[in-house]
Amino acid sequence: MLSRFSIVGVLNTLIDFVTFTIINSWFGINYTTSQISGYSFGVVNSFIFNRNWTFEDKDANKKIVHEFLKFIIINLISLIITIIFMRILIKRFNLNVYIAKIIVTFAAQITNFVGYKLLVFK
């Protein structure tokens, strides 16, 4: 399960990072808005693959809407954590936006795995 989560995580991260880069670099939109946008694209991919492949949640009796709402809550928490830490890394430690993005991505992965495993796809 952890290896599947890692594969999906890499795909989500690529989607997130490419979207972030396009919005931030090409369009010059600030890193907070770029983070929200990139992360959101990764979340959609994450739900589909984690539900159907990583955690193989095939319970027909479970309402997908309820499951999706829990998934969104976990990801909102994760997104808030990444934005706060990005701001700290960029403003206080003068890190490059992309280095900060890479660092906060690891924090998000840990938060997401625990939340998905314990609350969403149990």
Whole-number pLDDT of residue 7: 92
For residue 3, pLDDT over 70 is answered with yes
**Are 8 and 54 a contacting pair, CB within 8 Å?**
yes
Q: What is the pTM of this model?
A: 0.82
pLDDT tens for each residue of 51-88? 888 887 666 556 788 888 999 999 999 999 999 999 99
40 burial level (CB within 10 Å; 0-12, 13-18, 19+): middle
101: left (phi over 0), alpha (psi -120 to 50) or beta: alpha
**Domain-wise residue ranges, the chain:** 2-44+62-120
Q: Nearest CA to 46 among 73, 17, 18, 10?
A: 10
- How far apart are alpha carbons 39 and 22 in whole angstroms? 13
Q: For the residues 42-53, what does the mean pLDDT come to?
A: 88
Place of tokens 């992309």: 98
